[in-house]
Structure 1
């Protein structure tokens, strides 16, 4: 009899109910300041990271090998037979490769590690769908086969409040037109499925137009399939709520979820003012 565990890192954003419901294990990143180090999402909240950015921009480090070993040991003791891990993009972090290395030492567990080529909702929604499939009684192999199909139906877009933090953190990826910041040009950003880094999807002038553009882009996905829509933000509650209210009224939107603050580890690089939207098409065949 298979007993399947779900595992991720603290860059993942999804609602607390989903984490509890499917007993998702989360490996924490470290948020590092000059005088102190914090365990992501345990010792420091997203709001504290954003509020502190005026004083000091933190650095980060991936979950420790020791933490990974402890989680695998714990899963073995809890009689899990299989593990599905969804990791932050290997284009952003060494977490995926570290997890692969550690999992190979735990032969009692059959482990599949998926490189999300994304972060935040790009990890969280996959885990939620995997949890649903476990609940439906699907086998480990069936779920693993389904993950790329789930991923292909997810469209994650976001706008930064400013590109300053992504640039300072070296996570600017392939976002073009950064010089346009002077002209208030706002890139709509997405994660490339091959490299797992940020690229520019489109560019518009001004904050309001950038948020509206993400909603307009969503119409093309909604025209193909009913969608669930997920929204995250970095200290931009009012803008996120405005986007939530507008999207909720669109045709073919099945459910709209306000996930809330982007995880601290992602916030270090995305900065305050970020708003992200993920359109998850419901039409994919098992």
Structure 2
């Protein structure tokens, strides 16, 4: 059912790597298409019949699953459903083109549709960095932002001003999976040196810091977020984990204390697709500036 506030009949489309739980999507016109994960025993759909916990078990057994794009049929079916649900316009925010061909695939399929007005964007991000862009767009729609403003101003502004940071326990899977990007391999793994990773301007992963020990990870991410904050600018926060829920709960308390004026603080769990490349023991935090 279309919200009475959504007079322009705009739906939001993203993919499973946005890490938007059913609870976060509830009551919102957010549609997701699942990326595919190929395992030794068959192909699965991220967030449908395979989840991050399943990936951790497989990685620990020595299996290295592969990921692939959503199938074209599922994208077309999702667009059909959006139309059937009464929407006329679609804002699509997809996984960074620096990591996946999903954005380009959805863009090409969108060009074949004459029944929907569709604007497709490369988030140049992933996980909750991308997810909080989608959630903020819904806030903007509810506030009455018009289509042209959303397409030409708001989405580009969110892409440029959403800053996620995360740390991984090991670079092994990024290296094996060919997604190492600009992340610098560290020789000091035995010394518990942990990389803090973010997205470069081209959407590839890059190292932005390295710390010794997991406790220092939280401190560094909070400092990096604070460096992005601008006086007087409204902001949202995002926090996510992959196999580290207790650590995330502790981190969330510290984040709220450090950034008490956030308009929203959204939490998520890393999806199965990204877990193939980063493993478990992942902790992430991000800040999103809402410049008017």
What TM-score bracket applies, with the shorter chain setting the length? Answer: over 0.9
Please point out which of 155, 161, 166 is paired with 1:153. 161
Structure 1 residues 175-233: Cα deviation after superposition (integer angstroms, max 9, x where no partner): 1143232433222111012x101111112222221222112222323463453321111
Residue in structure 2 matched with residue 186 of structure 1 by the alignment:
194
Number of residue pairs the alignment of both structures matches:
283
CA contact (8 A) 1:222 1:251 kept: no
Aligned to 2:287: 279
1:49 aligns to 2:55 (yes or no)? yes
Question: Displacement, 1:59?
Answer: 1.1
Against the structure 1 CA distance between its residues 256 and 76, is the aligned structure 2 distance closer, same or farther, given a 3 Å change threshold? Answer: closer
Could you tell me how far apart the structure 2 residues matched to 1:243 and 1:57 are?
30
Farther off after superposition, 128-137 or 253-262: 253-262
Q: Is the 8 A contact 1:159 1:275 kept in 2?
A: yes
Matches within 5 A, 1:129-148: 129-144=136-151, 145-148=153-156
Measured against aligned partners, the alpha-carbon deviations of 1:41-84 in whole angstroms (never above 9, x if no partner) come to 01122222223321122111110011111112222333322111
Corresponding residue to 1:169 among 177, 202, 214: 177
Distance in 2 between residues matched to 1:131 and 1:273, nearest whole Å: 31
Q: 1:223 to 1:252 in 2, by over 3 A?
A: farther
Report which stretch shifted further, 11-20 or 135-144.
11-20
1:249 matched residue in structure 2: 257
Shift in Å, 1:270: 1.2
The equivalences for 1:93-104 within 5 A come to 93-104=100-111
RMSD: 1.9
Change (3 A) 1:256 1:85: closer
Contact 2:124 2:159 in 1 (8 A): no
Gaps of 5+ in 1: none
The equivalent residue for 2:22 is 16
1:31 Cα deviation after fit = 1.6
| Distance in structure 1 (CA, Å) of the matches to 2:225 and 2:263 | 14
Is residue 236 from structure 1 mapped to residue 273 from structure 2 by the alignment?
no
Q: Gaps (5+ residues) in structure 2? A: 1-6
Secondary structure of 1:178's counterpart equals: coil
TM-score (structure 2 length as normaliser)? 0.90
